[in-house]
Amino acid sequence: MQKITVFWVLLCVFSNATGQKPNKPGDYLLPEFHIERRQALRDQMPANSVAVFFSNSVRNRANDVNYVYHQDPDFYYLTGHQEPHAVLFIFKEPQLINSSTTDEIIFVRAHHALMELYDGPRLGKEGALEKLRLDMAFEGTEFERFNLDFTSFDKVLFYDFFNDVRDTKEKGDLFDLIRQFREKVGYEQDDLSIEPRNNNLDIVMLDSLMKNLRGIKTQEEIALLRKAVDISTIGQREVMKAMHPGMSETEVQGIHEFVFKKYQSEYEGYPSIVGAGHNGCVLHYIDNLKPEIEDGELILMDLGAEYRGYTADVTRTIPVNGRFNPEQKQIYDLVYEAQEAAMEVCKPGAGFTDLLKATREVVNNGLVELGVYKSAAKKHITDPETGRNRYYPHGCCHHIGLDVHDKGEYDVLQENMVITIEPGIYIPSGSPCDKKWWDIAVRIEDDFLVTREGCELLSDLAPRKSEEIEALMKESSPFGELVLPELKD
């Protein structure tokens, strides 16, 4: 134990002596943001309650390799903490803890010299106090001995647990924290319909409170979302210029994601969707393995950069050879018209269903006019309330933010919501229509800020009109000139 402690001290001294520059960019959300968000949650909580948040689990990829860690969005929103194996308590009213009064406590990983040599430094409870500016911090190993009478609260708010947390065998890890919490509050079964030991446990209310908060974006969040959207649209532009028949879907994906990294986007906000030809008819196609995209095909590209935790969501559909054929252009322009109709409706007070119905009406009427289906279109409509049909099977809008499908209410639009509008038409082979329409798949997805009087299109750097796309695709790109040696057989 003494050797480990000495090693840790020497490691810290060495790190400070090198005078290295900070390893992270300087435009992450500041502690003041997270402090204010914790207070905003506290203001909404019922009297005499405590809200409990656990960090995300570490997910295993294979054998001794884990996926790159990604923090739980609620946990990051409230703390800024990006490490695993932590739990946060937010109290409605101040509590007397260890002879001090506090309304928030965080438990974080203890320092571990050997593991930090492999994985990098840990924040520790000192860092949680200093850098995150939490009011009170402990090490996760201290939670087992932490005495808090949970029966004294009218409400203990938390999310239900999923069976996806591995026991790392490190004392005080997330596995331990969850097990110990369940024991402390008397939630030892997986179903609250079974009478728990304490009847003050609530696994429903917290999600509603977080939706109220996260659905309306602050100015700091909007600034980061603007950057994420701009990066994503620049990726779309570069691919439009570089696109030519013979490219692979993986190559197209690579150009997008190179642009993301060029602008210091940490991750993709979700698995990239790059579907050429019939693959575009698969709504969440993420294989992206087609080795050679053919002349005359469309390619649907749904990708979003994640920047400082905030995710864009932008889709463009373009002709691989630079020119839409007549049928492709007709379908594309119909989807564009549907999106324009929703934009006209998008303003505070409008319902999410109003935007959906606007797009459905344009798509349904347009497909009848094109003869894709007969005037007796009702047989193709599966939901009379929304006009949902076989060729437009998904919704129109969702919140974006820390999640690509972000938390928020889906009733009435409010100022400073950031949402998508994404109509689409997908006509797979074998559809009951003229074969000339088969394998045409078009989605146009853009990101919008709801303003006081309407909406602002955030993703306008990537052209939306068919004529503008064709014009941009005539420009040259360094990616289009990239030639690499052939791989050996």
pLDDT over 50 at 10, yes or no: no
Residue 383 pLDDT? 61
d(CA 302, CA 285): 10
Catalytic status, residue 445:
yes
How far apart (Å, rounded) are the C-alpha atoms in residues 75 and 173? 16
CA distance 378 to 372: 13
State residue 198's pLDDT score: 64
Query: Which of 112-116, 188-192, 411-415 has the weakest average pLDDT?
Result: 188-192
Judge whether 64 counts as a catalytic residue.
yes
Mark whether 81 is an active-site residue: no
Element (H, E) at 388: strand 388-389
Q: Specify the pLDDT at position 481.
A: 76
DSSP state, 231?
H
Active site residue 70: no
Known catalytic residue at 302 = yes
**What was the pLDDT predicted at 2?**
46
CA 469 to CA 47: how far, in whole Å? 55
Q: Which residue has the higher pLDDT, 480 or 447?
A: 447
- Counting DSSP H helices and E strands in the chain, the numbers are 12, 21
pLDDT band at 139 (very low <50, low <70, confident <90, very high): very high
Residue 310's pLDDT is 98
Q: Which of 422, 439, 446, 447 is catalytic?
A: 422
Tell me what pLDDT residue 489 has: 78
Phi-psi region of 201 (alpha: psi -120 to 50; beta: other; left: phi over 0): beta
Catalytic one of 249, 268, 302, 446: 302
What stretch of H or E contains 239?
helix 219-242
Asked if the model's pLDDT at residue 190 lies above 80, the reply is no
Token readout for 51 is: 């809200």
- End-to-end CA distance of the chain: give it in Å, rounded: 53
**85 has catalytic annotation:** no
In this prediction, residue 23 has a pLDDT band, given cuts at 50, 70 and 90, of confident
Backbone angles phi, psi at 429, to 5 degrees: -55, 145
Q: How confident is the model at residue 373 (pLDDT cuts 50, 70, 90)?
A: confident
Q: Which domains does the chain have, with CATH numbers?
A: 2-213 (3.40.350.10), 217-472 (3.90.230.10)
Question: Is 96 strand, coil or helix?
Answer: strand
Task: Say which of 230, 249, 306, 313 is annotated catalytic.
Answer: 313
> How confident is the prediction for the chain on average, in pLDDT?
91
pLDDT band (50, 70, 90) for residue 15? very low
* 6: confidence class by pLDDT, cuts 50, 70, 90: very low
pTM (2 decimals)?
Answer: 0.92
Q: How far is Cα 373 from Cα 106, in angstroms, rounded to an integer?
A: 59
**Residue 313 bears catalytic tag:** yes
Given the residues 394, 434, 468, 475, select the one marked as catalytic.
Answer: 394
456 counts as catalytic: no
Catalytic residue selected from 38, 226, 237, 398: 398
Strand 310-311 relative to strand 314-319, pairing = unpaired
Indicate if 327 belongs to the active site: no
Region 298-306 average pLDDT = 98
Is 284 among the residues known to form the active site?
yes
Ranking 143-157, 191-205, 280-294, 411-425 by mean pLDDT, the lowest is 191-205
323-326, long-range: CB < 8 A, 24+ apart? 323/470, 324/298, 324/466, 324/470, 325/296
User: What is the pLDDT at residue 13?
Assistant: 40
The pLDDT of 208-222, averaged and rounded, is 98
Per-residue confidence (pLDDT) for residue 378, from 0 to 100: 57
The whole-angstrom separation of Cα 349 and Cα 45 is 26
> pLDDT of 337-348, one tens digit each?
999 999 999 999
pLDDT at 18: 44
Report long-range pairs for 9-18 (Cβ below 8 Å, ≥24 apart). 11/113, 11/116, 11/117, 15/121
**Which residue out of 64, 453, 481, 486 is catalytically annotated?**
64
Q: Which of 134, 121, 129, 130 shows the shortest CA–CA distance to 24? A: 121
Among 310, 426, 439, 447, the one annotated catalytic = 426
pLDDT band at 488 (very low <50, low <70, confident <90, very high): confident
Active site residue 380: no
- The interaxial angle of helices 219-242 and 249-262, nearest 10 deg, is 140
One-letter amino acid at 296 equals G
Q: Spot the catalytic one: 284, 292, 369, 468.
A: 284
Confidence of residue 284 (pLDDT cuts 50, 70, 90): very high
H helices of 51-166, in order, are 73-79, 113-119, 124-130
Give CA angle at 214 (264, 41), nearest 5°: 120
Q: Which of 103, 443, 446, 447 is catalytic?
A: 443
Between these two residues, 230 and 385, which has the higher pLDDT value? 230
Closest alpha carbon to 410 in 396, 424, 423, 431:
396
- Predicted confidence (pLDDT) at residue 11 exceeds the cutoff of 60: no
Q: What's the rounded mean pLDDT across residues 219-225? A: 98
